[in-house]
Amino acid sequence: MPAASRRRFLSQGVALSGAIATGRGIAGDAKSDTPPGEPAWSRSLGAPILASPYGVPSRYEANTVRRQSPGLTRTPHSSVAFTPLASLFGIITPSGLHFERHHAGVPDVDPRAHRLIVHGLVREPRIYTMDDLVRFPSVSRIHFIECGANSGMEWANAAVPGVQYSHGMLGCSEWTGVPLAVLLEEAGFDRKRARYVLAEGADGASLTRTIPIEFALDDVIVAYAQNGEMLRPEQGYPVRLIVPGVQGVSSVKWLRRLEVGDAPWNTREESLHYVDLMPNGVHRQYTWIQEAKSVITSPSGGQTIAARGYQEIRGLAWSGRGRVKRVDVSTDGGRNWRTATLQEPILPKALARFRCDWRWQGEPAFLQSRVIDETGYVQPSIAALREVRGKRSIYHNNAIQTWRVAASGEVSNVQLG
């Protein structure tokens, strides 16, 4: 849209929100034309420094929290708490809001007592302390983690009210640690025979996952820090694996063991769980990559559009195969598409933020976003995905999400066709 008409387009919205501010202003004085009076916080001293030595959000943001989906799991130890995607901005998930998924709760690991063993097809098995790991050459990179079961409740029908539950097993952080390749070199892994690495956690679940050696030598990080500080306990303190682009379960937390081998281990978490039941009744095993996916986070299910006029459409897009190339947005259920604006930087295997101008005039609408990644892969509709995958899967649902906007402004989760 040309600059001049874009200004006109926006000015209407600005005038409108101005009107709202006067009507519900802090002075609550709609009769007067004078600016609102000075509130109490402008006439007194505020809290002293160190009122909270580790900063916490404003008390007015108390609704922006992780939540569990009622009735989803039987215990709070083998469970999941979802990221509040609708309340977040940009591409970094604040550490305290990063979704959590544990098989046996959050262990209280003492970093002084924790050890990481590297063994198997290596010349010299090693045992590392945290001090050893932090001393090694390090990298910091921004990557998403998405649980393979994200959107898993939506295979048969639109099941959950909003984006926190439909897409909230998703987070994106700056991770710092040692490249796994450095540790494998250090132990002298057998280049001829090494084909896989097994990663094992120190939690009560002893969670284990097989990782192909190509991934291990490429961009996998043995990470001890997240968003500038040591990992949070929920995210695997003091050390976890980050396997970029691969389903979350492979990013083993509280990492205690790495074994180099020549065949997949076929452990419980890769034969009983994290398999995809296909329409022909056969289970697909070892689905590594999280295919390209996107979702509109605002307006999204459970929200109500307060007023007609300008309403920016915002969302997130990502691909386990690399960078996001383009995101298209539709407001009529996929009949017409417009190209969204992508916020720089666009990083490989990281969340990307997209935006699109929209003016809502009170008409019922069906909002959708569709991502295309740098490999040319196009995010499928739920109907197209079901053609291939059927309705009985739990994992790897990357279908286009539809939000219905009613004439009242209420937004809800629906599936079309």
Ligand X SMILES: Nc1nc2c(c(=O)[nH]1)N[C@H]1C(S)=C(S)[C@@H](COP(=O)(O)O)O[C@H]1N2
Chain residues in the site for Mo ion (CB under 5 A):
101, 147, 248-249
Residue number, nearest CB to Mo ion: 147
The site string for ligand X over 97-116 (x = CB under 6 A, - otherwise) reads: -xxxxxx-------------
**What DSSP line would sit under 216-282, residue for residue?**
HHHT-EEEEEETTEEPPGGGTTT-EEE-TTB-GGGS-SSEEEEEEESS----HHHHTSS-EE-TTSP
Task: Give whichever of 15 and 72 is closer to ligand X, judged by the CB atom.
Answer: 72
Residue number, nearest CB to ligand X: 201
Smallest gap from Cβ 320 to Mo ion, in A, equals: 14
Q: Does 396 bind ligand X (CB under 6 A)?
A: no
Answer for which of 93, 251, 298, 413 binds ligand X (CB under 6 A) is: 251
Length of the chain: 417
3-state helix/strand/coil string of 291-358: CCEEEEEECCCCCECCCCEECCEEEEEECCCCCEEEEEEECECCCCCEECEECCCCCCCCCEEEEECC
**What DSSP line would sit under 148-174, residue for residue?**
TTTTGGGSSS--SSSHHHHH-SEEEEE
The listed partner (ligand X, Mo ion, none) that binds 154, CB under 5 to 8 Å by sort, is: none
The listed partner (Mo ion, ligand X, none) that binds 235, CB under 5 to 8 Å by sort, is: ligand X
Judged by CB under 6 A, the chain residues 202 through 221 that form the site for ligand X are: 203, 205, 207
Q: Does 225 bind ligand X (CB under 6 A)?
A: no
Smallest gap from Cβ 193 to ligand X, in A, equals: 27
Task: Give whichever of 138 and 271 is closer to Mo ion, judged by the CB atom.
Answer: 271
What Cα–Cα distance (Å) separates residue 204 from each residue in 50, 108, 186, 282?
37, 11, 29, 31
Task: Give whichever of 238 and 248 is closer to ligand X, judged by the CB atom.
Answer: 248
Q: Can you read off the two tokens belonging to residue 50?
A: 């160190």
The greatest distance separating any two alpha carbons of the chain, rounded to the nearest whole angstrom, comes to: 82
Task: Give whichever of 165 and 254 is closer to ligand X, judged by the CB atom.
Answer: 254
The site string for ligand X over 231-250 (x = CB under 6 A, - otherwise) reads: ---xx------------xx-
Q: Does 201 bind ligand X (CB under 6 A)?
A: yes
The listed partner (Mo ion, ligand X, none) that binds 351, CB under 5 to 8 Å by sort, is: none
**Stretch of 13-21, 94-102, 187-195, 406-414 lying at the interface with ligand X (CB under 6 A):** 94-102
What Cα–Cα distance (Å) separates residue 343 from each residue in 14, 89, 339, 351, 373?
23, 11, 13, 10, 15
Q: Does 164 bind ligand X (CB under 6 A)?
A: no
Contact 161, 413 (CB under 8 A): yes
Q: Does 147 bind ligand X (CB under 6 A)?
A: yes
Task: Determine the Cα–Cα distance for residues 94 and 88; give it in Å rounded to an integer.
Answer: 9
CA angle 185, 176, 82 (to 5 degrees): 120
The listed partner (Mo ion, ligand X, none) that binds 201, CB under 5 to 8 Å by sort, is: ligand X
Task: Give whichever of 170 and 178 is closer to Mo ion, judged by the CB atom.
Answer: 170
Task: Give whichever of 155 and 358 is closer to ligand X, judged by the CB atom.
Answer: 155
